[in-house]
């Protein structure tokens, strides 16, 4: 690689071997925008179809009639594409490398073994009456059975809803209820950084409020529950059930637009929404982006450090890599256990070539200095990636220089749960990289930057990021609430998909994501709605009102800042702060723990009672001189109180 300032050019040898060069990117991109129908008609063939499609793109972004269909008359099966079709050519190739939390624990699963495991799991589900269209909740640690379970659902046409194993019983319950799921798959316990996570116990607590749940399948992981792995007639011990299940199970023929999965994600208002992805377009898009963005070659060992509870785990641990017949690594643990060298030790142990992680992990490891990285070899690495939040140029340069030894291009991939796959991202052999920029759109993606009135801006500019036309990986609806889908994404700037992100475009046409411009927080790459945290806080008996905003945080990217007004007669104390934090953890999960709780005698409101978040953000950021006009507030004096209190917290 050569470097000028923050601009990096891939080496000649990387470029010579890359799948896509600059000229190919240009010509394919132009073709994909000029004639999406022809472009995707060609690239849709990358997966195997049972009945080939004749229709390609049938999409409408008009508010009131939003409808998104791709390859609609084709039929296929996702598990067939991720498993069965590879058996003839790569049955003995490793599909999944599993690296346990304990560094002495790992496991390799070939495509042939994967086939047997997915079929067995599918047969266990079928034996419990699970059928096409049913919703199955998966609340699992990062063990191979989580991937088997997802693929088993896909095989029989059931929808999975994976819930991150760090969510609380309350959060799990609302997600089970939110998609009317009557089956839950879990494990006895998870293991992270040497600590046990009581998954089954949390499931038991959650489903006290879910009368429809008839089956809980429990995978033995730590063995920590011993014989008490099942404690209720609805519980199924997976080890026993698996032993009785046949190792073959036919694939259900699915329409391209039949649902594949639901994934709950936070928005700016209300409870998390069930993002619905369907079969054909999603798989084509996940697989194609995975191949070209990571420049996937035959002997690559690919590792994405995400959790399968997030979309990154769906598209880029399970579906994209396996559809491409790749070797994908699944990691149960955390970056800092047993030591801060763990990531790089795993890279050396399994000769990882493509490594994909979050900026927050890079920033936290940066804090431990270069030595823990440099004492590992890492010579297998040839490409690095990031996802989840903007990466600051300092962290980018450190990742590039220290982790990649100034040899590996970095792909900074911008996308969302809703987009199914990468949207704005480098193709590493085709783009000159700029530290901090996600660079240019993927094939078929038509980004636009608009001002607050929705006027499309040209050239170098900054504004809201919208996407002007559909792409195959796009979410199809909010599960059970199509109106909410339209209102959330298509009402703000009619005729386009609104991303919720702000963005700058530079003179070279490169995109720089500036972060969310709605009331969504991005804490360590985890997405959270301010409204969710607020409602958790006001559910506490001492709280009368709460307002939550994000503020810059060195490691997490954004921290959670909570302004809390207490009930009359209650006074704020450190103990109460602790109690409120514990309460939020219980209601949502540890990832939602506030970083700062400020007891506010009053909140800045307009005369009509609307909380002025802009002011709260500035106070949280310590930008006391940039509060703007406060004269329109019902009671401007509350601002001075808050500033004084904020100074005390520092
Ligand atoms: C939001 C989506 C996409 C998988 C993980 C997060 C932010 C994501 C980047 C990036 C700057 C990014 C955006 C986006 N984001 N990737 N490369 N640069 N910001 O998925 O939970 O749906 O969150 O994450 O703000 O809207 P998600």
Give the model confidence (pLDDT) of 3-44 as tens digits. 666 899 999 999 999 999 999 999 999 999 999 999 999 999
Contact 284 CB / ligand 1 (< 6 Å): no
- Over 78-146, what HEC string results? HHHHHCHHHHHHHCCCEEEEEECCCCCCEEEEEHHHHHHHHHHHHHHHHHCCCCCCCEEEEECCCCHHH
Contact 312 CB / ligand 1 (< 6 Å): yes
Residue 354 to residue 382: CA distance in whole angstroms: 6
Find the 525 Cα to ligand 1 centroid distance in Å.
7
pLDDT at 4: 64
Contact 305 CB / ligand 1 (< 6 Å): no
* 270, pLDDT greater than 90: no
Find the 415 Cα to ligand 1 centroid distance in Å.
5
Residues making up the binding site for CoA: 192-195, 312, 524, 585
Residues 569-588 have a mean pLDDT of: 95
* 250, pLDDT greater than 80: yes
Find the 499 Cα to ligand 1 centroid distance in Å.
10
Find the 513 Cα to ligand 1 centroid distance in Å.
9
Residues 6+ away with beta carbon under 8 Å from 9? 1, 2, 3, 432, 433
Residue 213 to residue 597: CA distance in whole angstroms: 37
* 626, pLDDT greater than 90: no
**Considering the chain, what percentage of its residues have pLDDT values greater than 90?**
95
- 330 strand-pairing partners: 98
pTM of the predicted model, to two decimals? 0.96
Best probe residue, ligand 1, of 164, 304, 415, 498 (max atoms within 8 Å of C-beta): 415
Residue of the CA atom closest to atom 18 of ligand 1: 390
ipTM score for this prediction: 0.99
Which atom of ligand 1 lies nearest, measured to the CA of 513? 11
Residue 512 to residue 81: CA distance in whole angstroms: 35
pLDDT at 1: 57
Contact 498 CB / ligand 1 (< 6 Å): no
Residues making up the binding site: 192-195, 312, 388-390, 412-417, 501, 516, 524, 527, 538, 540, 543, 585
Residues 258-266 have a mean pLDDT of: 97
Residues 497-503 have a mean pLDDT of: 97
pLDDT at 474: 98
Residue of the CA atom closest to atom 14 of ligand 1: 416
Residue 57 to residue 70: CA distance in whole angstroms: 5
Find the 174 Cα to ligand 1 centroid distance in Å.
24
Residue 296 to residue 513: CA distance in whole angstroms: 25
Residues 6+ away with beta carbon under 8 Å from 185? 136, 137, 138, 139, 140, 149, 216, 217, 219
pLDDT confidence tier of residue 649, bands split at 50, 70 and 90:
confident
Contact 264 CB / ligand 1 (< 6 Å): no
Contact 413 CB / ligand 1 (< 6 Å): yes
Residue of the CA atom closest to atom 21 of ligand 1: 527
Residue of the CA atom closest to atom 17 of ligand 1: 414
Contact 181 CB / ligand 1 (< 6 Å): no
Length of the chain: 650
Best probe residue, ligand 1, of 305, 527, 550 (max atoms within 8 Å of C-beta): 527
* 97, pLDDT greater than 80: yes
Which atom of ligand 1 lies nearest, measured to the CA of 415? 3
Mean pLDDT of the chain: 96
Residues 592-614 have a mean pLDDT of: 93
pLDDT at 2: 62
Find the 524 Cα to ligand 1 centroid distance in Å.
11
Q: Which one, of 241, 221, 251, 23, lies nearest residue 125 by Cα?
A: 241
Contact 101 CB / ligand 1 (< 6 Å): no
Residue of the CA atom closest to atom 8 of ligand 1: 388
Residue 522 to residue 531: CA distance in whole angstroms: 13
Contact 387 CB / ligand 1 (< 6 Å): yes
Find the 634 Cα to ligand 1 centroid distance in Å.
36
Residues making up the binding site for Mg(2+): 538, 540, 543
**Residue 383 tokens, joined:** 């490409």
pLDDT at 414: 98
Torsions phi, psi of 307, nearest 5?
-100, 145
Find the 188 Cα to ligand 1 centroid distance in Å.
31
Find the 643 Cα to ligand 1 centroid distance in Å.
31
pLDDT at 268: 84
Residues 292-320 have a mean pLDDT of: 98
Residues 563-568 have a mean pLDDT of: 95
Q: What is the CA radius of gyration of the chain?
A: 24
Which region holds residue 589: left if phi is over 0, alpha if psi is between -120 and 50, else beta?
A: left
Find the 503 Cα to ligand 1 centroid distance in Å.
12
3-state secondary structure of 574: helix
**Chain-centre distance of CA 224, in angstroms?**
29
pLDDT at 631: 85
Find the 413 Cα to ligand 1 centroid distance in Å.
8
Residue of the CA atom closest to atom 5 of ligand 1: 388
- Cα separation of the two ends of the chain: 43
Q: Which one, of 223, 231, 227, lies nearest residue 190 by Cα?
A: 223
């Amino acid at each position: 690689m050569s470097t000028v300032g923050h601009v990096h050019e891939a080496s000649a040898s990387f470029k010579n071997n890359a799948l896509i060069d600059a000229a190919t990117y240009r010509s394919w991109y132009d073709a994909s925008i000029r004639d999406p129908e022809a472009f995707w008609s060609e690239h849709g063939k990358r997966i195997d179809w049972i009945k080939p499609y004749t229709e390609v793109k049938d999409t409408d972004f008009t508010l009131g009639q939003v409808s998104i269909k791709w390859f609609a008359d084709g039929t296929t099966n996702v598990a067939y594409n991720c498993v069965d079709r590879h058996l003839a050519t790569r049955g003995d190739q490793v599909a999944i490398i599993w690296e346990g939390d304990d560094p002495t624990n790992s496991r390799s699963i070939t495509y042939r073994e994967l086939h047997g495991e997915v079929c067995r799991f599918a047969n266990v589900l079928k034996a419990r009456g699970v059928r096409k269209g049913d919703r199955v909740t998966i609340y699992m640690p990062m063990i191979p059975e989580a991937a088997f379970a997802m693929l088993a659902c896909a095989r029989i046409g059931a929808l999975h809803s994976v819930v991150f194993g760090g969510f609380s019983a309350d959060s799990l319950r609302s997600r089970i209820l939110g998609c009317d799921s009557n089956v839950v798959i879990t494990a006895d316990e998870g293991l992270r950084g040497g600590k046990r996570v009581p998954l089954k116990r949390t499931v038991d607590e959650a489903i006290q409020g879910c009368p429809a749940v008839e089956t809980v399948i429990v995978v033995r992981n730590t063995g920590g529950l011993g014989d008490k792995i099942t404690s209720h007639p609805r519980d199924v011990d997976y080890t026993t059930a698996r032993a009785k299940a046949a190792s073959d199970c036919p694939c259900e023929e699915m329409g391209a637009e039949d649902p594949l999965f639901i994934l709950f994600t936070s928005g700016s208002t209300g409870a998390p929404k069930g993002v619905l992805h369907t079969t054909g377009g999603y798989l084509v898009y996940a697989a194609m982006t995975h191949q070209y963005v990571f420049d996937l070659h035959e002997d690559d060992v690919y590792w994405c450090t995400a959790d399968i509870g997030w979309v990154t785990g769906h598209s880029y641990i399970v579906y994209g890599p396996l559809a491409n017949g790749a070797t994908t690594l699944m990691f149960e643990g955390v970056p800092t256990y047993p030591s801060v060298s763990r990531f790089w030790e795993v890279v050396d142990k399994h000769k990882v070539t493509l490594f994909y992680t979050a900026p927050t992990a890079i920033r936290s490891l940066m804090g431990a200095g270069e030595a823990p990285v440099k004492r590992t070899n890492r010579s297998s690495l040839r490409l690095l990636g990031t996802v989840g939040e903007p990466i600051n140029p300092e962290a980018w340069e450190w990742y590039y220089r220290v982790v990649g030894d100034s040899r590996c291009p970095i792909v900074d991939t911008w996308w969302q749960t809703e987009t199914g796959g990468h949207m704005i991202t480098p193709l590493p052999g085709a783009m000159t990289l700029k530290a901090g920029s996600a660079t240019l759109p993927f094939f078929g993606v038509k980004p636009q930057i608009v001002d607050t009135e929705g006027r499309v801006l040209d050239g170098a500019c900054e504004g809201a990021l919208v996407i002007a036309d559909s792409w195959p990986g796009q979410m199809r609806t909010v599960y059970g609430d199509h109106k909410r889908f339209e209102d959330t994404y298509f009402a703000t700037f009619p005729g386009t998909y609104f991303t919720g992100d702000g963005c700058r475009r530079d003179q070279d046409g490169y995109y720089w994501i500036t972060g969310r411009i709605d009331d969504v927080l991005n804490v360590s790459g985890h997405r959270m709605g301010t409204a969710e945290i607020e409602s958790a806080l006001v559910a506490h008996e001492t709280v009368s009102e709460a307002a939550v905003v994000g503020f810059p945080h060195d490691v997490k990217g954004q921290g959670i800042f909570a302004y809390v007004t207490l009930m009359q007669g209650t006074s704020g104390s450190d103990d109460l702060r602790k109690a409120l934090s514990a309460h939020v953890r219980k209601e949502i999960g540890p990832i939602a723990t506030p970083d700062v709780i400020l007891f506010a005698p009053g909140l800045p409101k307009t005369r009509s009672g609307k909380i002025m978040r802009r002011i709260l953000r500035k106070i949280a950021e310590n930008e006391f001189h940039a509060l703007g006009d406060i004269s329109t507030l019902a009671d401007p004096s509350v601002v001075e109180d808050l500033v004084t209190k904020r100074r005390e917290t520092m």
